[in-house]
């Protein structure tokens, strides 16, 4: 097995903030200062506009705003009350650019409905840049890579179970401030790593691996509710937490689970112990995040101003 790392990834000190007004782009700032504009002012916060990146969309609502929704990349999300905002104040939504999204220009549209039936629309073209992900070449016997037929049914059933658990959008933010790492151990930063078998894409690594020693506690990256706590064939002992607004975090290969489905968890609460269950070659934590079905880099999630 040969491994090749590609840097190609700029890490910003903080999330970028893009301010949009009724006429399109009003100003682009590093600090999110409000821009003078007639009509709704939308703020976007993100680490980068690239595949595998989550975005926040904020609207400073006033009492005349009845509802607001954002559409991007074929997905439409309702804006909901932002953390700490008074009633009728700031609303927000999460968006995700999937790891396999096509780079190019995509239109972001925000529709704001006001009392009395008026609807205002803000549209803006966003350029999603290409991102070079690391890749690993495998030269393995396909019989070794492909699980036996007897296991395929179980793998398919469990994939459906995970898809079902992460398909329901809880219409409120359950989180508590920004996301935090589930353990301080160093990360391989291997999000989006493509595993090529004889130059054919064999698998895509849609999370990051943290080098956590065996048996150490794994903490919830944010507050939420446990929607899955099971022993999966590939993922091993896994916990999935619903943080609301379509955001789910997942923790795999644990040796022991400390929570069960339906439990409410606090940010930083121990949800399990590190292990090497499932398809794993040694103790580590596989940590992944989904935003409205888009697979995004957990390291980008840590940067979002929540």
SS3 call for 265: strand
- Considering only 209, 242, 297, 299, the residue that binds Zn ion (CB under 5 A) is 209
Task: Report d(CA 51, CA 132) in Å as an integer.
Answer: 10
Instruction: Tell me: does residue 299 bind Zn ion (CB under 5 A).
Output: no
* Closest CB to Zn ion among residues 111, 188: 188
* Closest CB to Zn ion among residues 21, 275: 275
**φ and ψ at residue 190, rounded to 5 degrees:** -105, 30
With CB under 5 A, what is the number of residues at the site for Zn ion? 2
CB 209, min distance to Zn ion, A: 4
Q: Phi/psi class of residue 74: alpha, beta or left (left: φ > 0; alpha: ψ in -120 to 50)?
A: left
CB 295, min distance to Zn ion, A: 12
Contacts of Zn ion in 269-298 (CB under 5 A): 286
Strands 194-197 and 135-138 turn out to be parallel
* Among the listed residues 246, 224, 143, 214, the one whose alpha carbon sits nearest the alpha carbon of residue 177: 224
* Closest CB to Zn ion among residues 80, 219: 219
Q: Are 132 and 8 in contact (CB under 8 A)?
A: yes
Sorted by sequence, the CB contacts under 8 Å of residue 58 that are 6+ apart come out as 42, 43, 44, 45, 82, 90, 91, 92
Contacts of Zn ion in 144-203 (CB under 5 A): none
The residue of the chain with the least Cβ separation from Zn ion equals: 286
CB 50, min distance to Zn ion, A: 20
Q: Which stretch binds Zn ion (CB under 5 A): 5-13, 86-94, 207-215, 223-231?
A: 207-215
Which residues of this chain interact with Zn ion, rule CB under 5 A? 209, 286
């Amino acid at each position: 097995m040969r491994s090749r790392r590609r840097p190609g990834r700029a890490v910003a000190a903080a999330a970028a903030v893009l301010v949009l007004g009724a006429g399109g782009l009003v100003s682009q700032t590093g600090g999110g200062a409000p821009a003078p504009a007639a009509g709704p002012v939308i703020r976007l916060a993100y680490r980068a506009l690239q595949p595998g990146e989550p975005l926040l969309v904020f609207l400073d609502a006033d009492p005349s705003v009845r509802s607001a929704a954002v559409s991007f990349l074929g997905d439409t999300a309702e804006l909901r009350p932002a953390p700490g905002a008074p009633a009728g104040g700031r609303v927000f939504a999460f968006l995700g650019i999937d790891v396999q999204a096509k780079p190019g220009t995509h239109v972001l549209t925000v529709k704001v409905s006001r009392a009395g039936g008026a609807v205002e629309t803000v549209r803006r073209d966003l350029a999603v840049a290409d991102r070079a992900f690391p890749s690993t070449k495998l030269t393995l016997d396909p019989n070794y890579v492909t699980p036996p037929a007897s296991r395929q049914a179980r793998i398919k059933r469990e994939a459906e179970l995970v898809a079902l658990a992460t398909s329901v959008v809880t219409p409120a933010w359950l989180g508590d401030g920004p996301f935090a790492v589930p353990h301080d151990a160093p990360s391989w930063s291997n999000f989006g790593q493509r595993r090529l078998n004889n130059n054919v894409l064999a698998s895509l690594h849609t999370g990051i691996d943290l080098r956590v020693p065996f048996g150490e506690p794994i903490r919830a990256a944010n507050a939420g509710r446990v929607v899955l706590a099971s022993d999966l064939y590939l993922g091993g002992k896994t916990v999935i937490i619903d943080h609301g607004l379509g955001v789910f975090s997942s923790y795999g290969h644990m040796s022991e689970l400390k929570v069960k489905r339906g439990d409410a968890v606090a940010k930083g609460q121990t949800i399990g112990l590190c292990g090497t269950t499932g398809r794993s070659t040694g103790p580590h934590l596989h940590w992944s995040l989904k935003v409205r079905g888009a697979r995004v880099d957990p390291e980008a999630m840590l940067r979002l101003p929540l």
